[in-house]
Amino acid sequence: MAVDVAVRAGRPGVPRVLLQLGRIVLMLVFSLPILFMIVSSLKPDTQIFSDLTSLRAFLPVGHISLDNYRGVFERVPAAQFLLNSVMVSVVTVAVGIVVNSLAAFALSRMRWRGRRIVLAAIIATLIVPFETLALPLVWWVNKLPWLELNGFSLVLSDGWLDTYRVQILPFIANAFSIYLFYQFFSSIPTELDEAARVDGASWFGIYRRVVMPLSGPAVATVAILTFLPAWNSYLWPLMVVQSEAKRPVMVGIQYFFQLNVAWGQIMAYSAMITVPVLVLFVAFQRAFVNSIASSGVKG
């Protein structure tokens, strides 16, 4: 486990109490806004505003109820949105892990011409923020064909808008994931490959039986780092998803900005879409923190 480095809290002269105090103050800074969200989701709109003036903002006092949550379900098909987001995020993460680790494997393990250029090109894509490409991409995906199973025959269609796939496929290949896998794979000794090769393993066999089983931390890291943007995606689904049957959770926030903004319901909805991720993270936090630590980001 982790070694005690850099700050030696136990030594005389080091203001140990101060350090702990610092940790606690920082803990408040990082958690209070989120606590505010959860507490406010239980209060009526008027009380949220009147409580802003005191510590009551962070306490579940006054008129506490689940009315806002009831209101959320009356206003938006929240269960459907949650299901859509789970669907999109899980598929993006799962397929992304396979596709990106395969690419990283080819780049780090196999020797082929142009591999350095491909790696550099992939990393260069990191500098382009998605927002600036969204519009050309809308136009372009709409031109793309798609094979569909119609009865027993495959037919070409152009149905990309308003689907799950338009929310998934553009985000599968991810330069950051490839890079993280590449880094991690490079730290696995190549002697293992050679041993497997002697036993007659193919490249794919090496990938599946040697490299991937050792790459748990990298997989965990990539999973979390691709899950978050998929779960939080907002601008893109706004542009390409029309029906409530395919709409993800973040877009749902817009439903509450009517002429009279329902702040309590916004808080309730925000809590509903945030807390599951928080719980998931807390449950896996030890594994995650350790995995990202050992997946070794080495520049």
Tell me the C-alpha distance between 121 and 262, whole Å: 46
Contact letters (x/-) for other proteins, 35-64, by CB under 8 A? -xx-------xx--x--xxx--x-------
Task: Report CA-CA distances (Å) from 276 to 164, 219, 248, 282.
Answer: 21, 21, 15, 10
User: Binding to other proteins (CB under 8 A): which residues in 239-278?
Assistant: 239-240, 242-244, 250-261, 263, 266, 270, 273-274, 277-278
Contact 220, 290 (CB under 8 A): no
Contact call for residue 186 and other proteins (CB under 8 A): no
Phi, psi of 60 (to 5 degrees): -80, 75
Q: How far is the CB of 103 from other proteins (least distance, A)?
A: 4
Reference 76, options 198, 242, 253, 294; nearest CA is: 253
Number of residues that bind other proteins (CB under 8 A): 136
Tell me the C-alpha distance between 85 and 81, whole Å: 6
Write out the two tokens for 203.
Answer: 């490249």
Q: How far is the CB of 192 from other proteins (least distance, A)?
A: 17
Q: How far is the CB of 107 from other proteins (least distance, A)?
A: 6
Specify the residue, 195 or 283, whose C-beta has the smaller distance to other proteins.
283
Look at residue 133 and give its three-state secondary structure: coil
Q: How far is the CB of 171 from other proteins (least distance, A)?
A: 8
Look at residue 10 and give its three-state secondary structure: coil
Q: How far is the CB of 191 from other proteins (least distance, A)?
A: 20
Q: How far is the CB of 54 from other proteins (least distance, A)?
A: 7
Reference 218, options 276, 275, 179; nearest CA is: 179
Phi, psi of 193 (to 5 degrees): -60, -50
User: Binding to other proteins (CB under 8 A): which residues in 139-178?
Assistant: 139-142, 144, 146-150, 155, 157-159, 161-165, 168-173, 175, 178
Specify the residue, 66 or 155, whose C-beta has the smaller distance to other proteins.
155
Reference 233, options 92, 97, 41; nearest CA is: 92
Specify the residue, 33 or 213, whose C-beta has the smaller distance to other proteins.
33
Interface with other proteins (CB under 8 A), residue from 39, 107, 219, 223: 107
Contact letters (x/-) for other proteins, 209-238, by CB under 8 A? -------------------x--xx-xx--x
Q: How far is the CB of 258 from other proteins (least distance, A)?
A: 5
Amino acid at 258: Q
Specify the residue, 132 or 191, whose C-beta has the smaller distance to other proteins.
132
Write out the two tokens for 159.
Answer: 């149905």
| Half-sphere exposure of residue 8: CA atoms within 13 angstroms, side-chain side | 4
Tell me the C-alpha distance between 104 and 172, whole Å: 14
Contact letters (x/-) for other proteins, 109-138, by CB under 8 A? -x-------x---x--xxxxx-xxxxxxxx
